């Protein structure tokens, strides 16, 4: 069985196509790694790259992306709607096949410490790779953002690896290991940012909402509209269909319709099948009812 790892780095650049293309080329230039997806957003000013391969090749590709990003980006001039700590904001490793979560944690720790040493960057470990309980959740680490991190490096944000000093152009990096995550946005037919923020607060787990859901409200441009941006940490606990229903119901109650949904990056097959089963009201629908699943197995 192949030993496959997925890596989903988020980079603080979503507007300059030439820069994004060079970052993608750095990943493609690593043998035995396949770039599966690249999604960029100008309002968030952020790109998400998804690539996979064996652990050593994926580690090399992660380093290649960090090297290229630090050549291209300067956080001192960065603006965007999405919270971020650095040029390479987060690097999660996800076990796909033949790899355990513990092995991905070890990989995250090794790559994170190598990044800290090579580039003199503060590095934080999160999710399954967290070294302290207050750093399991990515939003808790990212809360001060790039602009507020420097004054906290000696107190609440002492790095897990690297210097306790902000890298002026690259900021800091968060590295972790986690199960598959679904980044899913819902755009509302309104410019009422407060409505999107209220809906996000009501549905996220940290506010007593849906389990395994993180959510924030954002304002987008071209055309202007409000967005509920979510991470589904475990689609078997809360499905895409469930979050769509909860957001749509709250929007409709406020007299607002939903414009569209948006996936950032890739989605597990079983999560997509959940949506099909929900939409068609298929009781007891299983993956083995899909022709292609028999060949994938």
Residues serving a catalytic function are 82
Here the tokens at position 235 are 């689609």
Query: Per residue, what are the HEC states of 69-123?
Result: HHHHCCHHHCCCCCCCCECEEEEEEEEEECCCHHHHHHHHHHHHHHHHHHHCCCE
Chain centre to alpha carbon of residue 105: 17
**DSSP H or E stretch at residue 258:** strand 258-264
Chain centre to alpha carbon of residue 65: 16
Whose tokens are 């000013």? That residue is: 45
Q: How far is CA 274 from CA 25, 137, 247, 270, 294, in A?
A: 34, 26, 17, 6, 17
């Amino acid at each position: 069985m192949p030993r496959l790892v997925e890596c989903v780095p988020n980079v603080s650049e979503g507007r300059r196509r030439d820069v994004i293309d060079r970052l993608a080329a750095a990943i493609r230039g690593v043998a035995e790694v396949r770039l599966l997806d690249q999604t960029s957003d100008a309002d968030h000013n952020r790109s998400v790259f998804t690539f996979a391969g064996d652990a050593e090749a994926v580690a090399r590709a992660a380093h290649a992306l960090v090297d290229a990003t630090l050549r291209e980006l300067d956080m001192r001039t960065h603006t965007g709607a999405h919270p971020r700590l650095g040029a390479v904001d987060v690097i999660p490793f996800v076990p796909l096949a033949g790899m355990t979560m513990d092995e991905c944690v070890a990989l995250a720790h090794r790559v994170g410490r190598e990044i800290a040493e090579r580039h003199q960057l503060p590095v934080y470990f999160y999710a399954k790779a967290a070294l302290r309980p207050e750093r399991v959740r990515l939003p808790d680490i990212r809360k001060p953002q790039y602009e507020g991190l420097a004054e906290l490096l000696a107190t609440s944000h002492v790095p897990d690896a690297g210097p306790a000093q902000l890298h002026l152009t690259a900021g800091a990096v968060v590295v972790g290991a986690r199960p598959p995550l679904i980044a899913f946005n819902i755009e509302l037919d309104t410019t009422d940012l407060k409505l999107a923020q209220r809906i996000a607060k009501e549905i996220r787990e940290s506010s007593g909402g849906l389990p395994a859901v993180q959510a924030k409200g954002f304002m987008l441009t071209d055309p202007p509209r409000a967005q509920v941006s979510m991470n589904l940490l475990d689609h078997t606990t809360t499905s895409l269909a469930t979050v769509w229903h909860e957001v749509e119901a709250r929007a409709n109650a406020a007299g607002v319709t939903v414009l569209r949904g948006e996936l950032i990056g890739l989605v597990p097959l079983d999560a997509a099948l959940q949506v099909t089963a929900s939409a068609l009201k298929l009781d007891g629908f299983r993956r083995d009812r899909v022709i292609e699943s028999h060949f994938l197995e």
